[in-house]
A and B are shown apart, each in its own frame.
Chain A
């Protein structure tokens, strides 16, 4: 019980687990089959476009600053800052899409840092270069205006100045030559001029140095592969996207299959449920139907039970009866046997007396009587002193008659005892070849008292002996004769008993009377056990039912033909070879010998 309970819990629990696992797997597939949000991807693409645009604009702004188109360096800083911001956004978006920033991103950052540093350097160099370049014409003019400055010096300074300008514009001037020219500037004796020349030299050298530095930085900037890094990063990310999309597609395929399987499973479960419901409905329907027919069935069953009960009662009654009859039969047989012996003595004695009386005593008595009469001569009337009176001549014949009568009575007793013995044969139930007329006679004998005054007409045919249980057949016949006797009156009652062969193998017994007959509404029930129309003490209602059973067991037939007021005829057909010996029923063994007590 406990084990069953826990196993049920376990079953339920594992069911829930399996369902949960199925759902978890579904969720896993669904999550993995979701492609990176197209919006986020579009954002990323937009970031790349912007990065490229800003990078290009930054390059342009460097050139503009180099060539004086920009009045300040804010555009450079703005460009760098925008790129940094977009780079940060890129990281955020990548994180949202679930892709790790690839190596190319680091390369981009590195390039970007180098570019940033180069631009810082560029700004510093450019600012100084520009200032010195701007100051140079002023210096040339100041030197030119100086009275101590000769024409050669003027030419020298202006040549250097134009060379520096040209270098600033074209970057193709020979800087070594310019440096030589600068170094060749004379150190004037005039302090003021010397100071001017020194300034010229310093600024000229600054311009050269910063120009070179600028050119170098611009070249470096050109080499820094920010644009290429952007391309590479985008390429990498697009590859990642493709991989992600492929992965998503893969999971989507699995998801599709899995969903289909789940759907099938659900359909299957649904079908099973539906079937279970249908069966349940059917069962319900049947139950309803059963409920409806229950009454009828109960009735039917009750009827069956009642029938069985009455049958049981009947067989119980048969049993009791046959038990009673069996012991009665045994007793009767015993009594008959015991009676026979004293009957023999009595009869022998009586016969002896009679014989003696006739042969010896009678003549002796005559003689004695004559002697006495002769001697006395007088009749012997007084008792004491008188001599015995001579024998009445009439006395002796009367005595003889009385003895004869006694003998007759004894014979009758002997006959009854014989019949009793015959009827209650101890071999009853034993099948044997038996002449039915014999049974009829012995039954008539037993029923003598019942049938007295009825006219008995015997009409025996030449019948074959029948293989049967004689005691049972006797009982049937006795029962039928008893019924016939009870249905007729002493005045004019006639019982006709006839036997004949029907074909070679069947004996027919007909027992007819001219009694009351059986009413039509009753005739159907006369073979039922306990059915009787007679008063208590006279009828048991078992006679015909026992007869029916015995005849049926002998494979025979018993039929009734009756007309109320006219009479009744019972016809029994018995096959000569009943073949029923082996299957003689137990009941037959204890068939009651007599119907009524």
Chain B
């Protein structure tokens, strides 16, 4: 454990002496350190608890979208092609774009669950791909660590593409045009690695700033007064405890129903998908735990939650208040929060937002 606290952590360039501390001693010291920090920071903690003060310090829990990484335009273009290519699915009926409509928010046109090959229904609501590049894990249960790996999961899922890489590569290799394009870019024939790479590159090109990003960057007039108020409510009610960071979520897991039994009240039979991260880790503590979804473009991606049970933002916000915050909020506050969430829409897609409620 470092011997230093605070912003600056000088790192010894000399290798530290071998630690002879026992785990117990280490633990004790660690706790003592926490206590020291805690005591010395009581005042600051107080400030953190007081949202107004925090805001005065310019201490925003949501971070503006960084510029997209420099990408090979040819790869992005190829990724776009592949994203729309139904040959990835077993019967050639489904492409990535079938369930992730970029122009409509990157999710599936208001469907609770999506349709895979042979008209099978999926298990969870299709999340938006627009800012998937900023998620710390992919899928509701976070079973995939990155965009490249994610492709294989969709491809192999029997309810989604129900395919295999060898079959896909075989199909794609018959396309002379595609093969020559891939050879030009990767210097090799289509493979799991380069196909995944191209699709990931395309998805990394998708994030687009919203008016709220402009606000965060100092353009205070970028959002309306109501939206601003909604943001304050969003923070003060504690939504921001989970929906924070660059992606307004997407960087942590949380149990659905932290302060109430969501599934008992839902009125729908429990499915395997409802177990969430438990399906990945098998840990009892991960039962009903899901990745906190990003709220960017959330106004475009109804219905909500992994089960698509909330048809509207208002409904979703109400559920969140009840089961995640364990408190009630006036309808006006919730309305303001909806306004704020609509300001998180990518600017070019704002025109497809419905009229304000």
Do A and B originate from a single complex?
yes
A interface with B by C-beta (< 8 Å)? 49, 52-53, 56-57, 59-60, 63, 66-69, 71-74, 76-77, 81, 117, 120-121, 123-124, 127-128, 130-135, 137, 169-172, 199, 202-203, 206, 215, 218-219, 222-223, 227-228, 231, 234
Given contacts A49-B11, A71-B54, A72-B251, contact A169 B326 (CB under 8 A): no
Cβ contact within 8 Å between A72 and B245: yes
Q: Report the minimal beta-carbon distance from A56 to chain B, rounded to whole angstroms.
A: 4
Judge whether B326 and A68 touch: CB under 8 Å. Answer: no
Bound Cα distance A56, B5 (Å): 10
Contacts A73-B251, A222-B27 given; does A68 touch B244 at CB 8 Å: no
Contact of B33 among A57, A63, A71, A215 (CB under 8 A): A63
* CB–CB B238/A134 < 8 A: yes
- Selected A-B contacts with CB under 8 Å, 8 pairs: A63-B33, A63-B37, A72-B245, A77-B136, A128-B258, A132-B326, A171-B35, A222-B27
- Is B218 located at the chain interface by the 8 A CB criterion? no
Cβ contact within 8 Å between A72 and B30: no
Of all chain A residues, which has the CB nearest B31?
A171
Residues of A contacting B241 in the complex (Cβ-Cβ under 8 angstroms): 127-128, 130-131
- The answer to whether the Cβ of B42 comes within 8 Å of any Cβ in the partner chain is yes
CB contacts (< 8 Å) of A130 on chain B: these are 238, 241
Q: Does B59 contact A (CB under 8 A)?
A: yes
The answer to whether B252 and A60 have CB atoms under 8 Å apart is no
Q: Is the interface on chain B under 10, 10 to 19, 20 to 34, or 35 or more residues?
A: 35 or more
With a cutoff of 8 Å between Cβ atoms, the chain A residues found around residue B15 in the complex are 231, 234
- Per-residue contact bits, chain B 1-40, to A (CB 8 Å; 1 contact, 0 not): 1101100010101011011000100110011011101110
Q: How far is the CB of B186 from chain A (nearest CB, A)?
A: 18
Query: In the docked arrangement, what's the CA distance between A199 and B251, Å?
Result: 28
Inter-chain pairs besides A68-B48, A222-B26, 18 sampled, C-beta below 8 Å: A60-B9, A68-B44, A68-B49, A69-B41, A72-B244, A73-B244, A73-B251, A77-B252, A123-B252, A131-B326, A135-B327, A169-B38, A170-B35, A170-B39, A172-B35, A199-B326, A222-B31, A223-B23
Q: A127-B242, A170-B35, A234-B15 are in contact. Are A73 and B252 (CB under 8 A)?
A: yes
Whether the pair A71, B244 counts as a contact (CB closer than 8 A) is yes
Name the contact of A63 in the complex, choosing from B11, B34, B246 (C-beta under 8 A).
B34
Docked Cα-Cα span, A203 to B5, in Å, equals 31
Nearest A-chain residue to B327, judged by Cβ = A135
Known contacts: A77-B136, A123-B252, A169-B39. The answer to whether A66 contacts B34 by CB under 8 A is: yes
Known A60-B9, A123-B253, A124-B255: A67·B45 in contact at CB below 8 Å? yes
Task: Judge whether A74 and B238 touch: CB under 8 Å.
Answer: no
B254 proximal to A (CB < 8 A)? yes
B166 at interface by CB-CB < 8 Å: no
User: Hey, which chain A residues are within 8 Å of B44, CB to CB?
Assistant: 67-69
- Contact A135–B13 (Cβ < 8 Å): no
Interfacial chain B residues near A219, Cβ < 8 Å: 27, 30-31
Q: Which residue of A lies closest to B38 (CB)?
A: A169
A22 to chain B, nearest CB (A): 38
Nearest B-chain residue to A126, judged by Cβ: B241
